[in-house]
Amino acid sequence: MALLSDAEMQKVARAIHDVERKTDAELVTVLAPRSDNYLYIPTLIAAVLALLSPLVLQWLPPWLSSGEILVLQWFVFIVLALVFRIPGIVRWLIPPRVKAYRAENMARRQFLENNLHHTENGVGVLIFVSELEHYIEIIADRGISQHVPNDRWSEIIQRFVKSVKEGDTAEGFVRCIQQCGEYLERHCPATQEKDELPNHLVVL
């Protein structure tokens, strides 16, 4: 299932186009369902719980043989491993530090893969969103970061995170782009026609 509808993606693309008409900055937006599949974490937790399951049986009459207990452990492992992969459950199983680390790495990779570090005059800006982690980051290249301090981006990100948690990702994107545009227009106004990078929302 798409994270955003076609109409919402077009709305985001129009917002990017409107901003880039007023600034020399190149703005790229990336939306990821998640920054990692995290399969090892649900599998590990399921394995630990399966190994501990015989401890529950010690309070019951000894009517299971060792072979039957082994089968039960495998059954518990398989069921939990499948259940723990449900996105809504995975989000709660993954430690916050792991989610932040994976999402931050993904954001850095996207900045490089979209060639934002190769724009003329170093004016590339990435707006990255990873939905499962509720992680948002704005990365600006040297030509922008020397004029706009990080706390400005932090204010925009906090409002965007609230929109994502409320399930209003599309509107959050548009507001974020417009707010970024205000700073970009002020510190990096348009001086020439350019369009080095695509204006559409990149969905991974």
Asked whether the predicted pLDDT for residue 177 surpasses 70, the reply is yes
pLDDT over 80 (residue 26): yes
**70: Cα within 13 Å, side-chain hemisphere:** 3
Residue 2 has pLDDT above 60, yes or no: no
Q: How many CA atoms lie within 13 A of 67 on its CB side?
A: 0
The answer to whether residues 117 and 193 touch, using CB atoms and an 8 Å cutoff, is: no
Per residue in 55-79, pLDDT (tens digit) is 776 665 566 677 777 888 888 888 8
Domain-wise residue ranges, the chain: 6-36+95-203, 40-93
CATH no. for 6-36+95-203? 3.10.310.50
